[in-house]
Each structure stands twice: as structure tokens, then as C-alpha cells.
Chains A and B, each alone.
Chain A
Amino acid sequence: MTTSNDRDELARLVPAPAERDLPGDRHQRLQEFVMREIHRDPHPAAAPSPRRPLLRRSVLVTSALTAALAAVIAVAATGGSGGDPVPPAPPGQSGESAPAALSGQDILLAAATTALQQPPATGTYWHLKARALHLDTESWTDRDGRTWERNAKTGGRVVAVPGRARYALGAPDVSFQQLQDLPTTPDALKAWIAAATDAAHEYISGPPIADQRDRHVYVSLISLVSQLPAPPAVRAAAFQAIAAYPTVTNLGPVPGGTGLLIPGVSGRSPERLVIDPATTQIREADFFITPEGAIYSAADGHTVTLQTEWTTTRPE
């Protein structure tokens, strides 16, 4: 059963209803409305946005990086009602507080060093807990890849997940053991993930276009530092790799650690992470990457709190 058959069969079962136009003069009225709002925007982006595409690998010098980020924040902050909660540090406020001493890149490179110094894992179960407004999920995975989970679907009970755990590393799924064996230098790690991404696409429709591959690699790197039971050296390499993305900025101290603004995992607005500099754990994020590889975005004004740790026991 190929996917094109899935699509053809779906088109046969539920053909699209006839399309219709917006009723009456609504096309024109709505177009006028949208154009009025666009012109009303106090910052109509007179100059082209200096922001680089999300996943370019080039590293900008710090001043250019800061300027690019300011532009990103300005774009996000000036849209719509102006009450957009996404950028946690609107430009109007950044000038009032003391400038952050370290760049986002500095924070990530420091995290790489700290990650390497973390004691090797000693527990039996990798425990992942994520909570948000409409999300409450927990899982325990042992070194053989057996997983137990507790969430809304299980009715709040801890149940064994059938089969061995596979982890979404961007596009490809990997086993627990593959995670442990990942390369430990940034370039080799990215190359490994890119190759695995190509392999995962091969049987669908040829290799992904370069931009998609880059995005999958990026999401993989974020997963490695935030959610997956990767060993210290792999996490360190992932932190180094993320530090090379152009638009990463330090938002300064926030509850739980240090705030970072990173390129969005879903390819849209930049998103926020909170890293605990002492342990390098990611405590909070605007998103959660589900075991299936989908991206759950927290509701406006909310974040996902993350807890990851090795434990020796799991609840029955």
C-alpha cells in the first residue's frame, strides 16, 4: 500500500466539495480590511528584514546577530494587536534592562562544556515529564528500550508501551542504542542525522529538499538536548551545533535558569527555551516534540515545563 494510493483512495472516498467564492462583496471588503490593517501597522518593514533564513549554518558576528534578532523580535512584536506574548523581551524593554553579558552562542557553548562534565547516567529509567496547559505526559524508558507512559490517553495510569521505544530524531526514528552511539562532534553528528534523514525519506519521494533536511537536523539537535536520553558527549556536540545557528540570543536570567531565543522548531516564529546552566537541562520551552516527532506548541502565554532525569524506579 503506497502513499499515493492512500491519497487516491481518500480522494475517491471523500472528493472535495465544489469550491465557492467569498459571498457578495466580501472578497473585496476583506481585502480592503487586510490592506488597511497592514498599512496601519506602525512598523511596516520599510527595509528588508535582515534576518537570515531559519536554518542557515553561517555564523554571524555578534553585533549582526543582535541586530538580526532585534529585527525578528520587532517583526513578531508589531504584528496584530501588539499584545503578542511570543517575544518575552520586547525591544522597548531591552534597552531599559542591563544588556546581557553573554551572547546566546556563549550560553550554548558553555552548556556544551558543562554537559561534558555531567556524571555518567546511573539510573535505570530515563524519565521524561512534560506539562503545559493541555499537556500532561510522562514516560519511563529503560536501557533495553522498554517504555512505560502515563498521560491522558492512559487515563492517568502507568502502562507499558508495546514494542521497543523508537525516538523521533527529526525525521528518522532511532533506537535507544543508536542514541547512545551517535557521533560526538558537531559536524559528524549533523552529518549522521542528515544521512539518516535522507534514508528515512528515500522510500517516499526521493531525498528531501535541502531546506527540509536542514530543518529536520535542527529539530533533532533540539530534541537531543531537551528531551532524549542522549549521553553527555552527544549532548555536548548538539549544544555546539545549535550554537552555530545564526539567530540564537540570550534573554538573560529567568525563573528556572537562562532564557534563550532560538529559531522556531516549526519554522515559524522564534521560540524560547529555558536552560539550567548548572545541569544544562532544558527546563521550559514554547514547544514539545512528541515521541512521534510532531511538534506540540504551547498555547499563547504558556510554556511547556520539561523534566528529564535518570531514576532507579518507576511507578507501577
Chain B
Amino acid sequence: MQQSARLRVRAGDPEIFRELFAEYARSVYNHAFRLTGTWPAAEDVVSLTFLEAWRLRGTVDADIGAGSLRPWLLGIATNVARNLRRAARRHQDALARLPRPEPVPDLAEEVTARIDDRERLARVRVALAALRQPEREVLALCVWAGLDYAEAAEALGVPVGTVRSRLSRARARLARLVAAGKLREPPSGTGQMKDGRGTAALLAQEKAR
């Protein structure tokens, strides 16, 4: 099933891109938000990621077996978010045809967000501000998007050891923030994923996709 999805991507079958969008646009949107920090930018990343995926369809590895295409798309999204202007320049003609959204003040969304989510967002922003870009990217891919190390390495085009060391540096940097009192220890018992599932459960869920 997944194998044939990869073949269809390589073959340039437009319908598989419709399916990929339906299935993964939300993942890409949230991943992009965590990297760019704003929802409008995240929306641009979604459009550009799928335009880039179409452009790069010939590079998808059809021999990888049953692997999901989610890491491939998140890797493209990471590259797009890293250099949004470059991607926008590449697709500037297409973007000129992009329907612009009705302006929705971000603030309204923030107010309606649940308290614990606002707390999480605040922590995410503190963490992102403290990390260097490569560390932010592995944090977003491995911890928040739930990719395993091999998938994150594939997505970023770096060795697995590099993913590992970047995560380790991210952890050390955030530990220093905690020690300096700039990042509070999360309240015990609620620090894991919502409804108490841990990373392992999250990863198992991601794997099942």
C-alpha cells in the first residue's frame, strides 16, 4: 500500500498528492507552526511544502518498503520553514494565485485556546528561542512530530548520529534554562502528553499511521 504510494509519487500521479494533502496537511501545518511560531507562516509552509513535494517527486525513494511518506513531507516542510523566502521565491508565480485568507486576528484564537495549551505554547516559545536552528528542527521532528531517529535523519539529510547529538545538545541547553529559572519545571504528573500518554505511546501511534 505505502510502497505503491511511493511509486505513484515518483510517477507523478496527481491524485496521490491529493491524498497526501488530505492525510498530512494537518501534520505539516502544526510542525510548521512549531518551527515558524505563527499560524499564517505555517499556512504558507503548507502550500509551499506540497508544491515542493510535487517538484521533488522524482527524489522520493521507492525502495524503502512500507515507510510512511510523512517523514519525507515533514523533511520538506522543515527545509521550507528554514528558508521560507527562498521557497516563496521559487514558487512566486504560484503564490500569486494563492487565495488569501480572511484576516483572523491571532489574538482571538489565543484567548479561546485552553489554559493548559497556552501554557504549553509559552513553554514551546521559550524553548525555541533558546535553541539553535538545527536543535529546534530535531526537537520538532523527534519529540513533537514523533519521528524516530532514522526518519528524522532521512528528513533532514544528516547522519543519525547528528540527530542524536543535536537532541542531546537541545536537552543540555534546556536543562540550563531550567537551572537558570528561565524555564519552569513542568508540574509533575501533567508533563507528559495530553491524557497522560508518554512519548512511547505517541510514537507507537505515529508508527501505526
Residues of chain A whose beta carbon lies under 8 Å from any beta carbon of chain B: 1, 3, 6-24, 26-27, 29-31, 33-39, 41, 44-49, 51, 53-54, 71-72, 75-76, 78-84, 168, 170-171, 200-201, 204-205, 208-209, 211-212, 216, 264-269, 292-295, 299-300
Contacts and interface: CB of A to CB of B under 8 A. Distances in A.
A293 to B, nearest CB: 5
B91 A81 contact: yes
Given A12-B191, A13-B174, A51 B86 contact: no
Among B56, B121, B143, B192, residue most surrounded by chain A Cβ atoms (within 10 Å): B143
B5 interface: no
A176 to B, nearest CB: 20
A33 B99 contact: yes
A261 to B, nearest CB: 14
B41 interface: no
Contacts of A11: 143, 192-193, 198-199, 202
B98 interface: yes
A10 B59 contact: no
Contacts, number: 243
Contacts of B46: 22, 30
A294 B55 CA distance: 24
Given A10-B139, A13-B123, A49-B11, 7 more contacts: A3-B167, A13-B191, A19-B26, A23-B104, A29-B101, A79-B90, A80-B51
B174 to A, nearest CB: 5
B97 A36 contact: yes
A293 B159 contact: yes
B7 interface: yes
12 contacts: A3-B167, A19-B30, A22-B46, A23-B104, A33-B47, A53-B63, A80-B51, A205-B149, A205-B150, A268-B56, A295-B157, A300-B89
B160 A204 contact: yes
